Amino acid sequence: MTRLLAVANQKGGVAKTTTVASLGAALADLDSSVLVVDLDPQGCLTFSLGHDPDQLQSSVHDVLLGDEEIADVLLDTSDNVTLLPATIDLAGAEALLLMRPGREYALKRALAEVAEDFDVILIDCPPSLGVLTLNGLTAADEVIVPLQCETLAHRGVGQLMRTVTEVQQITNPGLTMLGAVATLYDARTTHSRDVLSDVSDRYGLPVLDPPIPRTVRFAEASASGASVMRGRKNKGATAYRELAENLWKYWDGGGDVPTADLA
């Protein structure tokens, strides 16, 4: 059975793309076949997996509009995951999709054609709650929310939770909110932890274990087009591996996903 996990937060810079790339590589290392979907017109995931969006002939944009078969657009990456890439064309997809009936289902329909080739499909949503994110949430079985542990982290979480509830009511009754992933976490101060437990209490949102620590290796990796999961060992990669194992066990055996102890 294929697991479809959307990574969403309309705030930019909270590590959605980093989470998709790192979890994707870690899950592939656990011997699962992984597809990652870039739904952001900026194409950061595409770029970070070694493909230059400006050089691509076709992308998820053409797939969503029905102009290309999804299987013809998929790319291999050095991280052993398959990529459905994005290009800047996708910025126009919002407007084009808005005029079509069933616009929230375009990604779901396309993924159905290749889903059986993959154990896990990870969807990197753009920093908005527009049609593209609605497509991501409509296609997914589950959603996780990366939260940067800073003072105003909770801003916008209420709106995101409302959007998830609306998707559950209208386009995807099976969607499960798995919880938040704490990113750019600083274990040395109590601040990160206080912010997290506040958001968690306020929205009844479990925080998955483990938190992902801030490490300079991530900035280096996204600039070089190589995954942080390769190369030298670092605490960020270790945390994503642990999170991938926790998710994999949960998908395999049921039970609960382990949550972080914020006490």
Q: Which residues bind Mg ion (CB under 5 A)?
A: 16-17, 44
Contact between 15 and ligand ADP per CB under 6 A? yes
The single residue listed with the structure tokens 């932890």 is 193
Q: Least distance from C-beta 44 to Mg ion, angstroms?
A: 5
Q: Which is nearer to Mg ion, 11 or 103 (CB)?
A: 11
Contact with ligand ADP (CB under 6 A) among 5, 6, 14, 27:
14
Of 67, 191, 219, 231, the residue at the interface with ligand ADP (CB under 6 A) is: 219
Partner in contact with 148, chosen from Mg ion, ligand ADP, none, beta carbon below 5 to 8 Å by kind: none
Query: Which region, judged by CB under 6 A, interacts with ligand ADP, from 8-16, 54-62, 64-72, 84-92?
Result: 8-16
Among the listed residues 146, 155, 143, the one whose alpha carbon sits nearest the alpha carbon of residue 211: 146
Write down the least CB distance from residue 13 to ligand ADP, Å.
Answer: 4
CB 154 within 8 A of CB 201: no
Q: Report residue 181 as tokens.
A: 């992933």
133 binds, among Mg ion, ligand ADP, none (CB under 5 to 8 A by kind): none
User: Which CB sits closer to Mg ion, 26 or 44?
Assistant: 44
From the list ligand ADP, Mg ion, none, pick the one residue 179 interacts with, judged by a Cβ distance below 5 to 8 Å according to partner type.
Answer: none
Residue 20: burial class (beta carbons within 10 Å; 0-12, 13-18, 19+) = buried
Distances (CA, A) of 131 to 88, 93, 96: 16, 9, 10
Contact flag: residue 231 with ligand ADP (CB under 6 A):
no
Alpha helices in 140-232 (DSSP H): 157-170, 191-203, 216-224
Nearest to 132 by CA among 182, 179, 86: 86
Other Cβ atoms less than 10 A from the Cβ of 131: the count is 20
Omega of the bond leading into 210 within 30 degrees of 0 (cis):
yes
Contact at 8 Å (CB) between 7 and 121? no
Which residue has the CB atom at the shortest distance from Mg ion? Answer: 17
Q: Contact with ligand ADP (CB under 6 A): which of 135, 183, 192, 200?
A: 183
Stretch 75-134 residues interacting with ligand ADP (CB under 6 A): 127
Distance CA 58, CA 247 (A): 32
- Using CB under 6 A, count the residues that bind ligand ADP: 18
Q: Does 26 bind ligand ADP (CB under 6 A)?
A: no
Q: Which helix (H) or strand (E) holds 252?
A: helix 235-253
Q: Which stretch binds ligand ADP (CB under 6 A): 6-14, 57-65, 73-81, 154-162?
A: 6-14
CB of 38: closest distance to ligand ADP in angstroms?
A: 10
Q: By the criterion CB under 6 A, which residues form the site for ligand ADP?
A: 12-18, 44, 127, 183-184, 212, 214-215, 218-219, 222, 236
